[in-house]
A and B are shown apart, each in its own frame.
Chain A
Amino acid sequence: DAGVIQSPRHEVTEMGQEVTLRCKPISGHNSLFWYRQTMMRGLELLIYFNNNVPIDDSGMPEDRFSAKMPNASFSTLKIQPSEPRDSAVYFCASSLMDFSNEQFFGPGTRLTVL
């Protein structure tokens, strides 16, 4: 299996632009997670889906952030408009919904907003 795939790996954009991050989970996994990692705040869960349905979006910072999972093999995280404080590494992870199963992380997208 190819593992969790994220694109792009690096994104540099200007403040005010729309940014879309993409994730393909491991085939067969039914839970998908979006995390953000910064030096100041560490690793934070933004939102997660079970069976393509958003379960908990309490970590989404504000209305500028939105996430979708139109099918079992694809998810997007969108920031519109982007701000410099959104600069971070964004990880997507997937797992089976079973309680003891670990989450498999993608390589991350390093976002820089100028």
Chain B
Amino acid sequence: AQKITQTQPGMFVQEKEAVTLDCTYDTSDPSYGLFWYKQPSSGEMIFLIYQGSYDQQNATEGRYSLNFQKARKSANLVISASQLGDSAMYFCAMREGVTGGGNKLTFGTGTQLKVEL
């Protein structure tokens, strides 16, 4: 079974609108962390936001927020007020606790976001 599932291969959003990128995960480890990375067309991987499994509140970083629904095993990324520069590939990733694999990350297949005028 896939550990990280991103079901939206591509998304379009209008500038200044909000957009939600979906991510579901699968783990039996009670301790895990969820990460989102952005990969623009230039190719670099840019860290956006982190959510720990024990965190009580949803993570936020500027225009990025993470809609963490633990019971549903989902960790959707919400980008508010989209900008043209947000056009990129977005990856969801999970780090499981010691029993699950140490500190390595497992990545999803990504969602290509295109912001339109």
Q: Check if B106 is an interface residue, CB within 8 A of chain A.
A: yes
Q: Check if B47 sits within 8 Å of A103, measured CB to CB.
A: yes
Selecting from A18-26, A41-49, A66-74, the interface stretch reads A41-49
A100 vs B33: C-alpha distance when bound (angstroms): 7
Question: Is A42 within 8 A of B109, CB to CB?
Answer: yes
Known: A89-B43, A107-B44. A100 touches B107 (CB 8 A): no
- Name the contact of A50 in the complex, choosing from B37, B43, B47, B103 (C-beta under 8 A): B103
Contact partners of B31 in chain A: CB under 8 A:
99
Give chain A interface residues in 15-67, CB to chain B under 8 Å: 31, 33, 42-43, 45, 48, 50, 55-56
Tell me the residues in window 59-93 of chain A with beta carbons closer than 8 Å to chain B beta carbons: 89, 91, 93
Residues from chain A with Cβ under 8 Å of B107 in the complex: 42-43
User: Which residues in window 29-46 of B have CB below 8 A to A?
Assistant: 31, 33, 35, 37, 43-46
Q: List 12 A-B contacts (CB under 8 A).
A: A33-B105, A42-B107, A42-B110, A43-B91, A99-B52, A99-B97, A100-B50, A102-B35, A102-B50, A105-B37, A105-B46, A110-B43
Rank and list the top 9 A-B pairs by shortest CB-CB distance, nearest first: A105-B45, A102-B47, A43-B107, A42-B109, A48-B104, A45-B104, A107-B44, A108-B43, A100-B52
